């Protein structure tokens, strides 16, 4: 396999494909920051830190596999089943915001500041530091207490959610994601999603983007699909996803889009080419298996893989 890590490589470096498979988290939806927040909330209760050296080892795993690995890596004093239940509670709280881009903290900052200003108070960096990373209800309690606001934490929370919602519904998907998906669909390129999420988690995350996700031929949710015996970095999920296209393409006819090293390894193991859009903290060493590495989906040139090119914008 040609392993070219720049968007300007020649067409000769790639093989023609006919079908496309997308990962979900961190690739189409910017959920990785939400997973990080939820996970840190859980492990912080046990005095542990979920840093990138740990995160990179669990990216792309199913919920159960990630739970087992995290309990082991962080030496948590609970069983993986107990951790899994705690994590699911946190995910349910944060995943409805799965369309958020990396600048969501600025939205939260503005909302908290606006509420404080209404009561002649200032949302200082010191108070913000105490709020960041906490649950919404906890953050509301801290804000009301620290700024001595003349309202209950529940009143603050209600106002916060109303104001934040007005901003959050205007925030889009990962850069280039919608354009690419709609392009492939309009050109009748068969597309599917292969995610390590369970079905209920997937439904929670895409609820604000049902129109876009209705364009996919099918979705494989590895966390709950009984046919997926092993999660990424095992190739199972991509092989099963390919087999569910009506014309059952060979693995080499499929192109995978991924953000996680585990996902890249899975795609390569399945015999597929893979375009990687990694987290900025991912080392070059962990990207070297990718057929092509990009900074954003906005950089992709479908014609490199024999797929229909984007129409020229007038």
Give residue 49's domain range. Answer: 32-94
Residue 221 lies in a domain: yes
- Residue 177: its pLDDT value, please? 92
- Residue 97: its pLDDT value, please? 54
pLDDT in tens, 145-154: 988 999 898 8
56 and 21, same structural domain? Answer: no
> Do 36 and 266 touch, CB atoms closer than 8 A?
no
- Residue 299: its pLDDT value, please? 95
Nearest to residue 22, comparing CAs of 297, 308, 289, 309? 297
Q: Which of 168, 192, 224 is the last residue of a domain?
A: 168
pTM: 0.69
Q: What are phi and psi of 142, to 5 degrees?
A: -65, -45
Residue 258 lies in a domain: yes
Residue 313 lies in a domain: no
Longest CA–CA separation in the chain, Å: 67
153 and 64, same structural domain? Answer: no
Residue 312 lies in a domain: no
Residue 310 lies in a domain: no
pLDDT in tens, 161-171: 677 555 444 43
CATH classification at residue 148: 1.10.150.240
266 and 178, same structural domain? Answer: yes
Residue 2 lies in a domain: no
144 and 233, same structural domain? Answer: no
Nearest to residue 28, comparing CAs of 263, 270, 251? 263
**Tokens standing for 85?**
């239940």
20 and 36, same structural domain? Answer: no
118 and 231, same structural domain? Answer: no
Q: Which of 124, 142, 168 is the last residue of a domain?
A: 168
Catalytic residues: 23, 25
- Residue 132: its pLDDT value, please? 58
Separation CA 99–CA 311 (nearest Å): 26
Say how many domains are in the chain. 3
- Residue 10: its pLDDT value, please? 41
273 and 215, same structural domain? Answer: yes
266 and 255, same structural domain? Answer: yes
Residue 71 lies in a domain: yes
User: What is the block-wise mean pLDDT of the chain (314 residues), using blocks of 10 residues?
Assistant: 44 84 86 75 86 84 86 91 85 59 52 85 79 61 88 83 56 80 97 89 78 96 89 92 97 95 93 93 89 95 96 68
- Residue 94: its pLDDT value, please? 65
Nearest to residue 176, comparing CAs of 101, 236, 252? 101
Which residues have C-beta within 8 Å of that of residue 170, sequence separation ≥ 6?
Answer: none
């Amino acid at each position: 396999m040609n392993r070219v890590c720049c968007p300007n490589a020649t067409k000769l470096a790639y093989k023609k494909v006919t079908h496309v498979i997308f990962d979900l988290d961190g690739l189409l939806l910017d959920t990785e920051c939400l997973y990080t927040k939820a996970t840190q909330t859980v492990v912080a209760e046990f005095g542990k830190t979920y840093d990138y050296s740990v995160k990179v080892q669990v990216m792309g795993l199913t919920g159960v596999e990630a739970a087992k690995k995290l309990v082991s890596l962080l030496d948590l004093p609970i069983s993986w089943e107990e951790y899994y239940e705690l994590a699911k509670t946190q995910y349910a709280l944060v995943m409805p915001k799965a369309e958020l881009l990396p600048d969501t903290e600025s939205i939260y900052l503005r909302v908290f500041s606006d509420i404080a200003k209404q009561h002649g108070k200032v949302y200082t960096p010191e108070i913000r530091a105490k709020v960041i990373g906490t649950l919404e209800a906890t953050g509301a309690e801290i804000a009301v207490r620290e700024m001595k606001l003349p309202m209950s934490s529940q009143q603050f929370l209600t106002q916060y959610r109303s104001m934040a919602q007005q901003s959050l519904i205007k925030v889009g998907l990962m850069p280039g994601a919608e354009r690419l998906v709609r392009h492939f669909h309009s050109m009748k390129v068969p597309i599917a999603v292969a995610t390590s999420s369970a079905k209920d988690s997937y439904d929670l995350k895409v609820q604000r983007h049902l129109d876009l996700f209705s364009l996919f031929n099918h979705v494989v949710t590895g966390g709950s699909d009984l046919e997926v015996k092993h999660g990424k970095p095992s190739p199972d999920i991509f092989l099963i996803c390919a087999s569910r296209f009506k014309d059952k393409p060979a693995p080499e006819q499929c192109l995978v889009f991924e953000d996680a090293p585990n996902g890249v390894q899975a795609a390569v193991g399945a015999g597929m080419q893979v375009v990687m859009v990694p987290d900025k903290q991912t080392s070059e060493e962990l990207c070297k298996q990718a057929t092509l590495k990009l900074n954003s989906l906005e950089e992709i040139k479908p014609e490199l893989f024999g797929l229909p090119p984007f129409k020229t914008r007038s």
